[in-house]
Homo-oligomer: A and B are copies of this chain.
Amino acid sequence: MASKNNVMKDITALCKRRGFIFRSSEIYGGIASTYDCGPLGVELKRNVKELWWRDIVQLRPDIEGIDSAILMHPKVWIASGHVDEFVDPLVECRQCHHRFKADELKNLEQCPDCGTKDCFTEPKLFHLMFQTYMGPVQSEDSIAYLRPETAQGIYVNFENVRTPARQKVPFGIAQIGKAFRNEITPGNFTFRTREFEQMEMQYFVYPDNAEKWYKYWKSQRKEWYMSLGFKMENLHFHAHEKLAHYARAATDIEYDFPFGRSELEGIHNRGDFDLSRHQEFSGKSFEYFDQERDERYIPFIIETSGGVDRCILALLVDAYEVEPERDNPDKMRVVLKLHPKIAPVKVGIFPLVKRDGMPEIARKIESDLRRHFMVFYDDGGSIGRRYRRQDEAGTPFCITVDGQTLEDDTVTIRERDTMVQVRTKIGDIPDVVRRYTVDWERNKGLPGGK
């Protein structure tokens, strides 16, 4: 078996090879821990975000979506506590000027980079927010930050959303968007990056009900990850004992990555910290008048804060398998057993040979299926090689147009996990894909398959 380190290397290579994820600005040597999504990566991400939005916003009468700007008023970050709290103490080597997190060097006497002894400066606070200037003048007054989280865009808009949406407590506001943190030690491929995407939902509740809703969202969110097809044994709750300045209770949903058990999403009881702070710093009231209770209060917030890129990475790790080929057990294949509902491409379409009218029929099938979902046409190399490429892409189905197609309008349809093939009428393909998607379980195969 491959070691766990090698698994991350293999997945990183697969991501580049198949066009899931690669380093940003690679032709210029890349830019530290920043990544781009290729054609498969962007579809995988779109599918996951779309499912989140559907489950959190579309299907629920009690949650509204928003999309707030990355650039916010700097006072937001004073009120949120980020300007004061979102810092790391760094020490600098006086010899080579490299900087290190103070707590990581506690027992070191020499610089890990240049080897100089007793070279460290006193720790200095380093801000994890990216800073820039807005407008034509660079001054204290024009400082702007790239938001380090999407949550504050929700809090400050509490009334701007609640009023037109006619919501009453308890209700939530959700958004998906980019955030930026100038991490000192990013790493583990896309797990910790300086630019990342969050899917966050903030649920506003009556203070006495906070504990109930905290439990509710913990279980809802774990179920949601399960619904993406994750192996149950790889998902875990981790309750925090040491809490951030804003939190009254915090649980992470963690995944068993090859580099260790790590956070996918945090569920937090933030109490009235956020709304109280924004009330204090903006001078605007965040008190809510609860008609049913005939009572005024600042709602408590239960937050579910997930990382899109982490979820994608965990899905790739979870789906990645190296296993013997069905009809040729001496040979190994690499396959991504992604849930078909998140698979970037649903159907690969191959003409058996590039003649006898097969490419024309295959192109016709391709163009019909494109109205239903993402497909991939491939006429390059042997059918075996084409299957391998789609296995690596996580494509649940490959159909082949062959001699018999010309006679009876059927194709072979080959299921990814079991590699079993059956013949199907061309017109039935969308239904086969849809029914299979609803019922999918890893390695269960097609109903009616051999």
Q: A residues bordering B, Cβ < 8 Å?
A: 16-19, 22, 24-32, 34-43, 45-46, 53, 58-61, 64-73, 75-76, 90, 97, 99, 126, 130-137, 144, 146, 153, 156-157, 160-161, 163-166, 175, 178, 180, 182, 184, 194-195, 278, 281-282, 284, 366-367, 370-371, 373-374, 377-378, 380
Q: How far is the CB of A380 from chain B (nearest CB, A)?
A: 6
Residues of B within 8 A of A42 (CB): 65-67, 175
Residues of B within 8 A of A22 (CB): 157, 160
Which B-chain residue is minimally distant from A129 (CB atoms)? Answer: B132
Residues of B within 8 A of A133 (CB): 130-131, 182
Q: How far is the CB of A78 from chain B (nearest CB, A)?
A: 10
| Contacts A36-B68, A58-B374 given; does A90 touch B136 at CB 8 Å | yes
Q: CB within 8 A of A134: which of B32, B59, B97? A: B32
CA distance A311 to B163 in the complex (A): 26
CA distance A156 to B137 in the complex (A): 32
Contact B71–A28 (Cβ < 8 Å): no
Contact A36–B157 (Cβ < 8 Å): yes
CA distance A194 to B135 in the complex (A): 9
Q: How far is the CB of A283 from chain B (nearest CB, A)?
A: 8
Residues of B within 8 A of A130 (CB): 132-134
Which B-chain residue is minimally distant from A177 (CB atoms)? Answer: B178
CA distance A110 to B378 in the complex (A): 67
Contact A28–B160 (Cβ < 8 Å): no
Residues of B within 8 A of A38 (CB): 64, 66, 157, 160-161, 164-165
Among A75, A90, A157, find the residue whose CB has the most chain B CB atoms closer than 10 A.
A157
Q: CB within 8 A of A132: which of B76, B131, B135, B184? A: B131
Contact A27–B156 (Cβ < 8 Å): yes
Q: How far is the CB of A383 from chain B (nearest CB, A)?
A: 15
Contact A45–B69 (Cβ < 8 Å): no
Q: How far is the CB of A7 from chain B (nearest CB, A)?
A: 21
Residues of B within 8 A of A157 (CB): 22, 26, 36, 38
| Contacts A136-B126, A370-B59, A377-B61 given; does A36 touch B73 at CB 8 Å | no
Q: List 25 A-B contacts (CB under 8 A).
A: A19-B164, A24-B68, A25-B75, A25-B156, A26-B157, A27-B156, A27-B282, A28-B76, A28-B281, A29-B73, A31-B73, A34-B72, A37-B67, A38-B160, A39-B66, A39-B161, A42-B65, A58-B370, A59-B370, A59-B371, A71-B180, A71-B195, A90-B136, A131-B132, A134-B194
Q: CB within 8 A of A153: which of B36, B166, B284? A: B36
Contact B59–A28 (Cβ < 8 Å): no
Q: CB within 8 A of A69: which of B24, B161, B373? A: B24
Residues of B within 8 A of A58 (CB): 370, 373-374
CA distance A76 to B29 in the complex (A): 11
Among A18, A25, A45, A184, find the residue whose CB has the most chain B CB atoms closer than 10 A.
A25
CA distance A180 to B180 in the complex (A): 14
Residues of B within 8 A of A28 (CB): 73, 75-76, 156, 281-282
CA distance A153 to B26 in the complex (A): 10
CA distance A24 to B64 in the complex (A): 17
Residues of B within 8 A of A134 (CB): 31-32, 130, 182, 194
Residues of B within 8 A of A156 (CB): 25-28
